[in-house]
A = this chain, B = another copy of it.
Amino acid sequence: MVHRNTNAVRDAALRGAGFRVTPQRQAIIRVLETSDRPLSVEEIISRMKGYRSGVPTVYRNLQQFAEHGWVETLVGPDQIMRFVWCSTSKHHHHVQCEQCGRAVEVEGCALKRALEAMEAKSGFRITRHQLQLFGLCPECKGE
């Protein structure tokens, strides 16, 4: 039974990070894990099945998850925070389709070279970066 196993893994991860396992946390994670796009707090709550968390609870948990590298917080030009689940806490980036909104992780980071070039140009030592990619997903580009 795959589902049960997934839940067990998730709960273990929560406990391992010092969290108590609450239905709210489980619901938040479940929604994010099964979403194909970044979600706002409002969207996360409205997508919960069987359990409805309060707004502050969702914000608090998302912030904690972000500190653990489990979610990435994106804030676009509309000033609204949106959250994506990260399958790995290794450095990576996300591409989002400008047509349908779908977002996927791009494993790894191909910026090493480019960053070296920019270090040379600027004289800065670059220690951290944040890259947001936008474009057309396979489905939308074949149209």
- Residue numbers of A with Cβ under 8 A of B are 73, 75, 77, 79, 81, 93, 95, 97-98, 104, 106-108, 110-111, 113-115, 117-119, 121-138, 141
Contact = CB atoms under 8 A, between A and B. Distances in A.
State the oligomeric state as a number of copies: 2
B95 A126 contact: yes
B141 A124 contact: yes
Contact of A135 (B73, B95, B126, B138): B126
24 contacts: A75-B77, A75-B79, A79-B79, A95-B118, A98-B128, A104-B122, A106-B122, A110-B113, A110-B114, A110-B117, A110-B118, A111-B111, A111-B114, A113-B114, A114-B114, A123-B137, A124-B138, A125-B135, A127-B135, A127-B136, A129-B131, A129-B132, A131-B131, A131-B132
